[in-house]
Structure 1
Amino acid sequence: VPNLSGPLNSIRGSLTGNAFGPGGSDFQDMYKIFIPTPSAFFAESLVVAGGFDIQLWLFDESGLGVLGNDNAMSITDQAAFGPATDDATPGLVAPGIYYLAISGAGSDPFSAGGEIFDFATPTEVSGPDGLGGSLPIAFWTEPGAIGEYYIELTGVEFVPAPATLLVLGFGGLLTARGRRRSA
């Protein structure tokens, strides 16, 4: 397994809808990513082939919803997000490990409490304001649209190796400790 580090600028994949492959159906893909500077984060999906209506989702490391978008402002088959455009959440505020998910229209994330995101408009970048927004993702509605996709990313890196995370965490503790001393 290669040790990847540094910026992650794009992801390419496909949702085939194949229910007979390993692990079940293929109506969603989810990627583990590292966001070092939340204010720099931006993701935009592009359709590679066919009339594929894309949705993008962002979850924190524990599976709680952070952001969701059904349709980008400019093209209805694309999805994009940066900051939330509703008042449901503070949005993406802390650096860390997140899960970026993509699904086709009709396949939405649910928790044990219900739908995680509630879109007031088709182009809203939503926080976790659905009935199940306070709980982690448990399942997806199926089926959804299928096709090939390409996601352009800004402010995203490969997930650091565990030793790197330990050093980053230790550095944060030293910084916090130093701040307490000077207060």
Structure 2
Amino acid sequence: MKLNAIHFKKITVSVPLITLALLANPVHAVDWTEIGDAGQLVSTAQMPTGDEGRLRNIYGTISTNNDIDMYRLYISNPTTFSAAVNSTSGDLDSLLVLFNQGGYVIYGNDNAMLGSPDAGLPAGYLNGPQAPGWYNLAVLSLGTPPVSGNGFTPDHYIGPDVSPPFTQILTGTGPGGASPLTGWAQLEDTVTLNEEYRIRLSGVTVSPVPEPETYAMLLAGLGLMGTMVRRRKGFIAR
């Protein structure tokens, strides 16, 4: 009888643990496509959602040279985090900038490689993200620098002034770098681009929205646990 009681106890514990493990461990990669026009500030950044899993790609469109798309991301592994953008429809000269949850710049890049218009944020960079948490990734066309404070002049620029070949990894060392993002300076008249892009990501987890069958799995596990507890009590009582 003691052996049977232990057996029931093990089953009772293992069922919910297995169920919770299935919920807690993403097992597949997720792609996200921009809905409408992603916002350009931390307060309006678009957050990819869906089934829990590794966020692999973001697809979107830069409609004009002054269009900025910002995405709110959960970086689950800062050591392996990286982001790389490429134009899937033309010749977008892109820029990538990562901000923390408070709008302070982490790092940015214009050209990932010499002679390439595609931007990239490398993994393992000294000034990259240091802890898991929420961040904001902006993708934009070249020529729209981020600013802080209440102005758009160079003394508000968050990033430094750079020179060719533009492959540098940039941080918030500009005049406005000590303050959070408040806007983007427009250096040129607005020109229609409609350039489609793809951002390849690593170290990022999509914000989970469990499907009905996931809830059903959890409830079934909890129900089975309750049944085992009742049976065990009845068995001991006899």
Report the TM-score, using the length of structure 1 for normalisation: 0.73
- Whether 1:118 aligns to 2:143 is no
C-alpha displacement at 1:129, in angstroms? 1.1
- Superposed CA deviations along residues 14-47 of structure 1, whole A, max 9, x for unmatched, are 01129xxxxxxx6110001011111100110011
Work out whether 1:6 is the aligned partner of 2:53: yes
SS at match of 1:40: coil
Distance 2:157 2:106 in 1: 13
Q: Which letter does structure 1 place at the counterpart of 2:160?
A: D
Q: Write the distance in 1 (CA, Å) between the matches of 2:83 and 2:161.
A: 18
Give 1:76 deviation, angstroms: 2.2
For residue 138 of structure 1, give the secondary structure of its aligned residue in structure 2. strand
Q: Which runs of 4+ in 1 moved over 3 A?
A: 1-4, 143-146
Match of 1:153 among 187, 198, 201: 201
Counterpart in the other structure of 2:41: none
The Cα shift of 1:4 comes to: 3.4
Say which one has the larger Rg.
Answer: 2
Change in Cα spacing, 1:61 to 1:2, as seen in structure 2 (3 Å) is closer
Identity of aligned residues (%): 32
Which residues in structure 2 correspond to 1:102-181 (within 5 Å)? 102-112=139-149, 114-118=156-160, 120-121=162-163, 122-142=166-186, 143=188, 146=193, 147-159=195-207
SS of residue in 2 equivalent to 1:8: strand
Aligned to 1:16: 63
Tell me the distance in 2 between the aligned counterparts of 1:83 and 1:115.
25
Q: Which segment drifts farther, 134-143 or 57-66?
A: 134-143
CA distance 1:151–1:3, change in 2 (3 Å): closer
In structure 1, stretches of 5+ residues that fail to align are 19-25, 162-183
- Which structure carries more helix by proportion? 2
**Partners in 2 of 1:159 and 1:99 — Cα distance?**
13
Query: Using the alignment, how far apart are the partners of 2:116 and 2:161 within structure 1?
Result: 14
Structure 2 length-normalised TM: 0.57
2:182 partner amino acid: A
Residue in structure 2 matched with residue 44 of structure 1 by the alignment = 84
AA matched with 1:16: S
